[in-house]
């Protein structure tokens, strides 16, 4: 974790700088990416320019990987028996529009 100084500067951890080949004096780019900020090392823009076919190939690979992850997920077939209510019960307690509760069984 790095702290931002009063001059809005921050220190890049040495391990990351070495991993991405960033040295003192390099110009890096910052890019907004949703709720995060992406730091782009020097020369990475040139490497990032992919052809349409390459982007589609990478998308297909990632999609296949995600499908495999979903296939490996083990979800319980039914809710635990100890629970005395079902999801449907949450929606059948009364008509919210008129504010009258259902009659007890």
Structure confidence at residue 37 (pLDDT): 92
pLDDT digits (tens, 9 = 90+) for 19-78: 988 999 999 989 888 899 998 888 776 666 778 898 899 999 999 999 999 888 887 777
Residue 8, pLDDT > 90, answer: yes
Q: 16 or 77: which carries more pLDDT confidence?
A: 16
Residues 6 or more apart whose CB falls under 8 angstroms from that of 75 comprise none
Q: 59 or 92: which carries more pLDDT confidence?
A: 59
Where do we find the tokens 């990032």?
48
In 3-state terms, what secondary structure has residue 53?
A: helix
DSSP at 28: -
Measured distance CA(105)–CA(12) in Å, rounded: 64
If one counts every other C-beta atom within 10 angstroms of the C-beta of residue 22, the result is: 19
């Amino acid at each position: 974790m790095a702290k931002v100084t009063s001059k809005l500067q921050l220190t890049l951890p040495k391990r990351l700088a070495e991993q991405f080949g960033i040295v003192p004096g390099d110009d890096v780019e910052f890019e907004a990416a949703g709720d995060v900020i992406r730091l782009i090392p020097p020369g990475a823009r040139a490497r990032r320019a992919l052809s349409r076919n390459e982007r589609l190939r990478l998308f297909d690979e990632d999609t296949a990987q995600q499908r495999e992850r979903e296939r490996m997920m083990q979800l319980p077939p039914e809710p635990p028996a100890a629970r005395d209510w079902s999801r449907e019960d949450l929606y059948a307690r009364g008509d919210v529009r008129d504010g009258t509760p259902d009659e007890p069984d």
